[in-house]
Amino acid sequence: MADVRAQRSTTSQPPVRLTPMEVPKASDVLAHDLRERILNGEFTEGVPLPPERELVIQTQMSRTTVREALRILEVQGLVKIKTGRSGGAYVQRPDGASVASSVSLLIRGQQVRLADLLETREAIEPFCASLAARNRTDADLARLDGANKMIADTDATLARFLQSNVDWHVAVAAASHNEILTGLMTALSRAIYAATENEQFIDTEVRRTTVRAHRSITDAIRAGDPDAAVRRMNRHVHTYAEAILKVEQRTKIAVPEEN
Amino acid sequence: MADVRAQRSTTSQPPVRLTPMEVPKASDVLAHDLRERILNGEFTEGVPLPPERELVIQTQMSRTTVREALRILEVQGLVKIKTGRSGGAYVQRPDGASVASSVSLLIRGQQVRLADLLETREAIEPFCASLAARNRTDADLARLDGANKMIADTDATLARFLQSNVDWHVAVAAASHNEILTGLMTALSRAIYAATENEQFIDTEVRRTTVRAHRSITDAIRAGDPDAAVRRMNRHVHTYAEAILKVEQRTKIAVPEEN
DNA sequence: TGGTATCTTAGGTCAGACCGTTTATGCGAC
DNA sequence: GTCGCATAAACGGTCTGACCTAAGATACCA
């Protein structure tokens, strides 16, 4: 090791300034490189990355490191790892699900108040309904109708009712054809489901009101009437929120894990 | 291996039906368990998880497996791993950053158009402004004023302008005192920043308009006028979106990597 | 021809070693 | 004492090489 002070004495110039150096981990470097290649389209969707042992040869890294890199990409939703022969890391593009899961973590981690959840839905969903009225396809309408049919079953358990409820709301978001909004609504709906399941918020009257509101909003979406859709959705989620909050007294929210 | 058909012939009952079995990976199991404990508050923020070798002893798993689990949690933003003595996996609660990065991946994966981003902001931000007008504290106002001051500097570089822009928008969200909306706006702002930096969307005129709009919205928030706040914010983000989209002609969005 | 046994390729897990970084600790000079 | 520095200890990071398990491919036999 050369002595730094010796260098200093040989020059009158101020010492070189160095920024606090970054020492990236090998697996991060590899993950980063692969991620860039995937996002740049060098690896197209559906094709498998080279096998781990092949990557070991190419990168001169150990298999441990290679595997950690692949694991990172898997968590980020950029590859899907399959086992067995002709398994491997298959490239996929991240979809709304990854957004939904990170939003779920955000919600669960912050111990968010139920009021915040409902507020957020009030912000987002009317806009979704408006977009849905403009962009919906026949397939979207079919999905909405299906959810309406499911939820109309008055004999269903609470869990089934809430599930159809979620399905309908997610279907509205999907009909907006905006991936981000769809991801957000998926996460929000799931969280609200969980929060309202624990309490006995939902009585027969709420069920009937909900079914009617969904029908009416679906009609507006089918008719391609954004203004009506926005207005009705606004009223629906607001009414729902008020009903819930009237019952709720500082309830702790517990969002179930997805998968 | 026993012959299945032999069993069948010895009984008249129909064979047992099994669902396609789930064979979770060991590292996923551990990651899942740790994640639940963190989110349930069993490990509070800031405390380190047991060292890897300790986890190996407790879980009877190999260090490879333990490390993969920790890596998963790190990517999900639930722990921050530090090296060196008294290093380890320190528990942290996920914040807007993890949502932001998954949104970024979604965008870079080209599943999302810039229009979707702007649309989502149009859905969320007016609502934030409304809440902010109702819930803002003096500290919130100070933060908004600070951002307004920064952005008014006409000599600033584009990067500085956009950063102050993001700061202001995030400050509005923070003033709403809704954790979810704040997290979402952080993510969206960063993504929009990145998407608009690459293009030369921002000219002097846009800058001046933006500064004026921010001032006017800040006034409404200070005055505690939700209606004015919502109206002005609506116009601001809508105008901005139109200006951007006018310039954009099927432009490929390239969001730079965070970190 | 159709099904079944086997082979082959891939990821999953394990054990043990060693390296690099960072902090605690103890010792010596002031 | 107390400040500074060398050293030790406690971490995560990486590597090697082995073996297990899943599952598609293939050959073989009825």
pLDDT, tens digit, for every residue of B213-240? 999 999 999 999 999 999 999 999 999 8
Per-residue pLDDT reduced to its tens digit, A66-106:
999 999 999 999 999 999 988 899 999 988 888 889 888 98
Q: Which two tokens stand for residue A3?
A: 């002595």
Nearest to B164 by CA among B218, B99, B234: B218
**Residues of chain B contacting residue A257, judged by C-beta atoms under 8 Å apart:** 32, 36
Quote the pLDDT of residue A4.
39
B135 touches chain A (CB under 8 A): no
Quote the pLDDT of residue B128.
96
Quote the pLDDT of residue B98.
86
Higher pLDDT, B174 or B14: B174
In angstroms, the CA B199 to CA B192 distance is: 11
What are residue A127's phi and psi, to 5 degrees? -65, -40
Q: Report whether pLDDT(A120) > 90.
A: yes
C1' (D5) to CA (A22) span, angstroms: 26
Quote the pLDDT of residue A2.
38
Quote the pLDDT of residue B205.
82
Residue in chain A nearest B63 by alpha carbon: A64
Whole-model pTM?
Answer: 0.81
Q: What is the mean pLDDT of residues B244-258?
A: 58
Q: Which two tokens stand for residue B33?
A: 């368990």
Q: Is the CB of B52 under 7 A from strand C?
A: no
What are the angstrom distances between the C-alpha of A139 and each of A75, A80, A143, B238, B257? Answer: 30, 27, 6, 30, 36
Q: Is B224 left (phi over 0), alpha (psi -120 to 50) or beta?
A: left
Instruction: Name the amino acid, one letter, at A162.
Output: L
Nearest to A189 by CA among A170, A202, A208, A171: A170
B112 touches chain A (CB under 8 A): yes
B166 in Cβ contact with B193 (< 8 Å)? yes
Q: Mapping DSSP to helix (H, G, I), strand (E, B) and coil, where does residue B91 land?
A: strand
Q: Is B236 left (phi over 0), alpha (psi -120 to 50) or beta?
A: alpha
Quote the pLDDT of residue A147.
92
CA–CA min distance A64, chain B (Å) = 8
What are residue B24's phi and psi, to 5 degrees? -70, 150
Q: Report whether pLDDT(A14) > 50.
A: no
